[in-house]
Amino acid sequence: MSNLTIPHEVADGIAVACMQDQLKYLIEETRAHVEDGAWLHPEDYYNNTVKYIPALKLLIAYFGGTVDD
């Protein structure tokens, strides 16, 4: 195992980018379900709208990122 050290700013940037990508995916998946009738398991829809999307928006803002709806 190497002794690789990543500066906190870089690590935060990577985390924010991953969370923004996941948020974008969840929003698109949920919108497709609502607007286009794409199938989405009811539990997934609930978790996306009530848990995951709000949590990701909060965490992205905490780490200094921006959220585009």
Band (pLDDT 50/70/90 cuts) for residue 28 is: very high
**CA–CA distance from 58 to each of 13, 38, 40, 44, 63 (Å)?**
15, 27, 24, 19, 9
User: For residue 24, how many C-alpha atoms fall within 13 Å in the half-sphere facing its CB?
Assistant: 9
Residue 40 has pLDDT above 80, yes or no: yes
Average pLDDT, the chain: 95
Lookup: tokens for 49: 């709208």
**What is the structure's pLDDT at 69?**
65
Give CA–CA dist 67/69, Å, rounded. Answer: 6
Residue 1 has pLDDT above 80, yes or no: no
What pTM was estimated for this model as a whole?
Answer: 0.89
Residue 36 has pLDDT above 70, yes or no: yes
Q: How far is CA 23 from the centre of its chain?
A: 3
